């Protein structure tokens, strides 16, 4: 190997060895280390000229590179920007391994928040300071988000470093602390794969403290409001959808994917076997439920069973009315010709109007699921039963989601204790001791 700046011949060094020289053509100091595969890795000083600053920079780089080579942590992958790597990760690692809805969410977060800020930074030069700066900027821009009536549209992939465009008004892009947390988690997951592939020596996200983001308390209907809601939806074309939502706690995708074969009228139960969601890129996407525990059997209330029977009669009449146009999908909840139904098809035109007309709180459709859980817990139902009905993977998720109910449950427990020991003041000490020993004795 020759140095074209001064004509001197330099001997080939062994793997892990390095050298420092001045490259006249670039007017910069250069550090170079040999790799096990025979190739070399170089670092060129940022400062021009033969000054001491540039030489110190490459000397420090070489010391770190030699140490990393000895430890087996020297990054030898090709140079690429963070945006280029993330696009590759999204397409070749993320999309094949997660549900498409999850992929869409990951892509959206990276496109909107990470690419504009860090997309043009070289992957091997991403530092914890970069990630910390991204976190600080996002948190600074965090504002209380307005309740959203519809899900945000997802922008298509952009060129590396290009800011994505969207038709959403600016106020819809307001962040919440949970958005900041989710964005950093996605970035952490992507860079973890870069470490595994040898493109990074370590994950810079490991050295950044993730922001705290408590779950917001979702407004729900109280018992009296649930009764008013059930009365209001009677005879509505989507009565079955609304009754099931407020009595079973199914997710909206689970409700819209229900087929008649999933309903056991005789056994007064339904079986959750799949879920559906809609996106412009692929149309209606049917997938397995969220987790193994989401594939579950849910018992039907009398009012739900009656609503389903009426709904089946209405559907049969509609099928007869449209004739050959009807699509045989076996869907319980469907459009006027038997096809799948989107949330947007009924959210504003039916659901929101029902709430307003009956002076009910302006809650989201998903809040009906929270209403079921909240009412069951307040009425003293065991959290394990609530967990099974909702399809949560662990009881910890149930208790964490509905922690706001805990004070009510605790007060109810104290009230029961007060009633249990109300006779204390009227008993003598001896009688009290005997009664308590009897009451608290183990039961065989």
* Rounded mean pLDDT, 394-414: 74
Q: Residue 442 — pLDDT band, cuts 50, 70, 90?
A: low
Q: How distant is the alpha carbon of residue 437 from its chain centre?
A: 52
Per the DSSP assignment, residues forming a β-bridge with 275 are: 287
Q: Which residue has the tokens 């109810």?
A: 412
pLDDT digits (tens, 9 = 90+) for 198-252: 888 889 999 999 988 777 778 899 999 999 999 999 989 999 999 999 999 999 9
Question: Residue 145: what pLDDT?
Answer: 41
CB-based contact 229:360 (threshold 8 Å)? yes
pLDDT digits (tens, 9 = 90+) for 11-65: 555 556 788 899 888 889 998 888 766 677 788 888 888 888 888 888 888 888 7
- Going by C-alpha positions, the residue among 260, 246, 294 that lies closest to residue 274 is 294
**How much of the chain, in percent, has pLDDT values that exceed 70?**
80
Q: How far is 423 from 287, CA to CA, in rounded Å?
A: 58
Question: Residue 401: what pLDDT?
Answer: 76
Inter-residue long-range contacts of 196-202, CB under 8 Å, 24+ positions, other chains counted: 197/77, 198/75, 198/76, 198/77, 199/75, 199/77, 199/85, 199/123, 199/124, 200/75, 200/123, 200/124, 200/126, 201/68, 201/73, 201/74, 201/75, 202/73
Q: How far is 125 from 372, CA to CA, in rounded Å?
A: 50
* Rounded mean pLDDT, 383-387: 89
Q: Residue 339 — pLDDT band, cuts 50, 70, 90?
A: very high
- Going by C-alpha positions, the residue among 245, 214, 239, 213 that lies closest to residue 363 is 245
Q: How far is 177 from 184, CA to CA, in rounded Å?
A: 11
Q: What is the DSSP string of 133-167?
A: HHHHHHHHTB-PPPPPSSPPPPPPP--TTPPP--S
pLDDT digits (tens, 9 = 90+) for 270-302: 999 999 999 888 899 999 887 888 899 999 999
Using the predicted structure, report yes or no on whether residue 413 has a pLDDT greater than 80: no
CATH superfamily of the 223-398 domain:
Intergrase catalytic core (1.10.443.10)
Question: Residue 437: what pLDDT?
Answer: 55
Backbone angles phi, psi at 209, to 5 degrees: -75, 125
Report the chain's mean pLDDT, rounded to a whole number. 82
Using the predicted structure, report yes or no on whether residue 148 has a pLDDT greater than 50: no
What's the token pair of residue 101?
A: 């809805």
- Alpha helices, DSSP H, located in 78-173: 82-89, 95-97, 100-109, 115-118, 128-140
Q: Residue 336 — pLDDT band, cuts 50, 70, 90?
A: very high
- Going by C-alpha positions, the residue among 295, 300, 258 that lies closest to residue 276 is 258
Question: Residue 301: what pLDDT?
Answer: 95
Strand positions, DSSP E, 180-274: 263-264, 269-271
Q: Residue 396 — pLDDT band, cuts 50, 70, 90?
A: confident
Using the predicted structure, report yes or no on whether residue 97 has a pLDDT greater than 70: yes
Count of beta carbons in the 10 Å neighbourhood of residue 284: 15
pLDDT digits (tens, 9 = 90+) for 103-142: 999 999 999 999 999 999 999 889 999 999 999 999 887 5
- Cα three-residue angle 284-285-291, rounded to 5 degrees: 145
Say which range, 114-118, 385-389, 398-402, 428-432, has the weakest mean pLDDT: 428-432
CB-based contact 115:164 (threshold 8 Å)? yes
Give the architecture-level CATH label for domain 82-207. Orthogonal Bundle (1.10)
CB-based contact 175:145 (threshold 8 Å)? yes
Q: Residue 441 — pLDDT band, cuts 50, 70, 90?
A: low
Q: How far is 265 from 258, CA to CA, in rounded Å?
A: 14
Q: How far is 69 from 198, CA to CA, in rounded Å?
A: 12
* Rounded mean pLDDT, 402-408: 70
Using the predicted structure, report yes or no on whether residue 168 has a pLDDT greater than 50: no
Count of beta carbons in the 10 Å neighbourhood of residue 91: 13
* Rounded mean pLDDT, 163-184: 65
Question: Residue 174: what pLDDT?
Answer: 62
Per the DSSP assignment, residues forming a β-bridge with 222 are: none
- Alpha helices, DSSP H, located in 234-339: 239-248, 252-256, 302-322
Half-sphere exposure (Cβ direction) of 380: Cα atoms closer than 13 Å = 6
What's the token pair of residue 258?
A: 């229900």
Query: Residues 361, 367, 369, 370: what is their CA dihedral angle, to the nearest 10 degrees?
Result: -90
Q: Residue 157 — pLDDT band, cuts 50, 70, 90?
A: very low
Q: How far is 96 from 325, CA to CA, in rounded Å?
A: 36
Residue 219 three-state SS:
coil
Question: Residue 431: what pLDDT?
Answer: 54
CB-based contact 116:163 (threshold 8 Å)? yes
């Amino acid at each position: 190997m020759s140095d074209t700046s001064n004509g001197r011949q330099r001997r080939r060094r062994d793997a892990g060895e390095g050298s420092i020289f001045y490259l006249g053509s670039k007017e910069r100091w250069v550090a170079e280390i040999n790799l096990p595969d025979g190739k070399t890795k170089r670092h060129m000083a940022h400062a021009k000229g033969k000054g001491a600053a540039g030489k110190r920079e490459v000397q420090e780089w070489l010391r770190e590179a030699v140490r990393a080579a000895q430890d087996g942590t020297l990054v030898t992958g090709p140079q690429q920007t963070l945006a280029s790597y993330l696009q590759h990760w999204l397409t070749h690692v993320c999309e094949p391994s997660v549900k498409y809805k999850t992929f869409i969410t990951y892509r959206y977060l990276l496109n909107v928040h990470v690419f504009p800020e860090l997309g043009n930074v070289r992957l091997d030069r991403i530092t914890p300071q970069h990630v910390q700066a991204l976190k600080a900027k996002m948190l600074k821009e965090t504002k209380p988000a307005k309740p959203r009536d519809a899900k945000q549209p997802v922008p298509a992939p952009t060129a590396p470093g290009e800011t994505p465009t969207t038709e959403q008004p600016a106020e819809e892009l307001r962040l919440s602390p949970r958005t900041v947390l989710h964005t950093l988690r996605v970035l952490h997951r992507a860079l973890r794969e870069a470490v595994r592939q040898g493109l990074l020596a370590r994950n810079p996200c490991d050295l950044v403290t993730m922001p705290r983001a408590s779950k917001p308390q979702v407004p729900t209907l109280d018992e009296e409001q649930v009764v008013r809601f059930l009365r209001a939806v009677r005879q509505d074309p989507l009565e079955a959808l609304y009754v099931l939502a407020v009595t079973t706690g199914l997710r909206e995708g689970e409700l819209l994917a229900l087929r008649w074969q999933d309903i056991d009228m005789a056994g007064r139960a339904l079986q959750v076997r799949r879920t559906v969601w809609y996106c412009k890129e692929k149309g209606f996407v049917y997938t397995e439920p969220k987790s193994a525990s989401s594939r579950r059997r849910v018992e039907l209330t009398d009012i739900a069973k009656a609503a389903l029977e009426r709904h089946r009669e209405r559907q049969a009449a509609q099928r007869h009315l449209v004739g050959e146009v009807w699509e045989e999908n076996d869907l319980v909840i469907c459009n006027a010709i038997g096809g799948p139904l989107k949330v947007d098809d009924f959210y504003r035109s039916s659901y929101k109007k029902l709430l307003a007309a009956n002076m009910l709180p302006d809650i989201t459709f998903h809040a009906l699921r929270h209403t079921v859980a909240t009412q069951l817990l307040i009425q003293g139902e065991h959290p394990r039963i609530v967990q099974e009905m909702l399809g949560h993977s662990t009881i910890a998720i149930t208790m964490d989601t509905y922690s706001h109910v805990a004070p009510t449950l605790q007060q109810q427990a104290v009230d029961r204790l007060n009633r249990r020991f109300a006779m204390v003041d009227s008993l003598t000490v001896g009688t009290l001791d005997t009664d308590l020993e009897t009451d608290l004795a183990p039961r065989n």
